[in-house]
Amino acid sequence: MDLTARTWMAGRVRGFGTSIFAEISALAREFNAVNLGQGFPDFDGPEEIRNAVARAIAAGHNQYALSNGEAPLREAIAEHSLRFYGMRIDPLAEITVTSGATEAIFCTGLAFIEPGDEVIIFEPCYDSYVPTIRMAGGIPVPVALHAPDFRFDPAELRAAVTGRTRAIYVNTPHNPSGTIFTDAELETIAAICREHDLLAIADEVYEHIVYPEASHRRLATLPGMWERTLTISSGGKTFSFTGWKIGWAIGPEPLQAALRRVHQFSVFATCTPMQHAIAEALRLPDDYFRTLAADYLARRDFLMEVLRDAGLRPRRPDGSYFIVGDIGDFPFTNGADFIRHLIREIGVAAIPLDTFYLDPAEGKRLVRFCFCKSWETLEAGAERLRKLRG
Ligand SMILES: Cc1ncc(COP(=O)(O)O)c(C=O)c1O
């Protein structure tokens, strides 16, 4: 038997392929481009929190953590929810610590979605939702966030719900558009969830990267939503430690029971000393959180102006650290070709938005830049982008 010709790959993963992110990163390295594509900071989070990892290791927090998360972290997550949202959460029963928000998202697929269930996502959408739904045998049903404002039409959301709809993924503040759902939009989502008995998976990893034009409200705090919502967040974005992969899911006991079954047989437990350090981070004074948002606001306004001057018609984000631009003024038919040109000729990398859509045609003129970068990186990118218009 010719083993080289044998397909070992299971059918459920065959359709996934590798993402454009890998190609862009490789091309950016080859041409020494300023990378405004990758969505992670090129600077570190607070020094005292880095030192907290060393302290946790020295104090002997080096063996398997409790499967549901170390007690100090779960207590800190509960205190954080009370401080910022007035929510009283039982740290023992209502919080599970995961390996980043990504693991929590993946667990929701196997824990809650039956084969054949329909699951609503807002498009463009974070790239792990669709594979998560599909690996569980579910069917992703997109509802558009319409460019250039990236808002949804309530009638379209209602029309997407059928008798087979099980759940909805709601990401606010939103990657890649930077939209923060308004109270009215959250009310619409909540009303539909209550009416059709849907589960809501609220991905709120950018909860502290919010600008003065908007405010972030947790979906789980709306009437009738706590019982049916799993709120996912992580320490990666708020504390600029994306490599630590400490995330969590907050929600009522029956949802935790299902989630924990998947968590215990996938990763079982999450890196112990990092959990102790993120517990300290969550207890940082209010000023830390205010400064984080203010720093990103200055970077957002800087990159907005640069992209506007470069003719990329940027859409101002209300939250997150991404700006979506439109290549309509340039002679390219799709974002990927434009970005290859941008890397080779201008020396700046960004991400084409079509990878965030089930139907790539929807996002083909849009590109995403991120500003979670040092001022030095942003200024170097700006200087190069000024050459875009010749
Ligand atoms: C919307 C959204 N959800 C989840 C994640 C993943 O978070 P983590 O790094 O904690 O796994 C990201 C990271 O880019 C994201 O943008």
Is residue 33 pLDDT above 80, yes or no? Answer: yes
The predicted-structure confidence for 264-302, as pLDDT tens digits, reads as follows 999 999 999 999 999 999 999 999 999 999 999 999 999
What the block records as the tokens of 321 is 């650290």
Q: How confident is the model at residue 359 (pLDDT cuts 50, 70, 90)?
A: confident
Residue 310 above 80 pLDDT? Answer: yes
Is residue 55 scored above 80 in pLDDT?
A: yes
Domains 16-45+287-385 and 47-283 share a fold: no
Rg (CA), the chain: 21
Is the pLDDT assigned to residue 20 strictly greater than 90? no
What is the reported pLDDT for 159? 98
pLDDT of amino acid 102 = 97
Is the per-residue pLDDT at 27 higher than 80?
yes
Q: At 23, is the pLDDT very low, low, confident or very high (cuts 50, 70, 90)?
A: confident
**Mutate which of 102, 106, 180, 263 for ligand 1 pocket (most atoms within 8 A of beta carbon):** 102
Per DSSP bridges, beta strands 199-203 and 139-144 are unpaired
Mean pLDDT of the 173-190 span: 98
- Comparing CA positions, the residue from 159, 152, 221 lying closest to residue 180 is 152
Whether ligand 1 lies within 6 angstroms of the CB of 108 is answered as no
Under the banding of pLDDT at 50, 70 and 90, the label for residue 362 is confident
Give the DSSP H or E segment for 155.
Answer: helix 154-160
How wide is the angle at C-alpha 370 spanned by C-alphas 334 and 83, nearest 5°? 135
Compute CA distances 99 → 12, 271, 277, whole Å.
Answer: 23, 8, 14
Q: Is residue 2 very low, low, confident or very high in pLDDT (cuts 50, 70, 90)?
A: low
102: CA distance to ligand 1 center in Å? Answer: 6
Strand (E) or helix (H) holding 376: helix 375-385
Q: How far is the CA of 6 from the centre of ligand 1 (A)?
A: 35
Is the CB of 41 inside a 6 Å radius of any atom of ligand 1?
no
Instruction: Give residue-wise pLDDT tens across range 90-116.
Output: 999 999 999 999 999 999 999 999 999
> Is 37 close to ligand 1, i.e. is its CB under 6 Å away?
no
Q: Is the dihedral of CA 183, 235, 233, 147 positive or negative?
A: positive
Instruction: Give dist(CA 388, CA 309) in Å, integer.
Output: 9
Distance 82 CA to ligand 1 centre (A): 23
Taking the domains of the chain in order of start, what are their residue ranges? 16-45+287-385, 47-283
Ligand 1 binding pocket includes 247 (Cβ within 6 Å): yes
Minimum-distance ligand 1 atom for the alpha carbon of 39: 14
Q: What average pLDDT does this structure show over 134-156?
A: 97
Q: Do β-strands 34-35 and 348-349 pair in parallel, antiparallel, or remain unpaired?
A: parallel
> What pTM did the predictor assign?
0.97
What dotted CATH number matches 47-283?
A: 3.40.640.10
CATH of domain 16-45+287-385: 3.90.1150.10
Report pLDDT for 291.
98
182: pLDDT strictly greater than 90 = yes
Roughly how many angstroms between the first and final C-alpha of the chain, as a whole number?
Answer: 59
Q: Is the confidence at residue 211, as pLDDT, over 90? A: yes
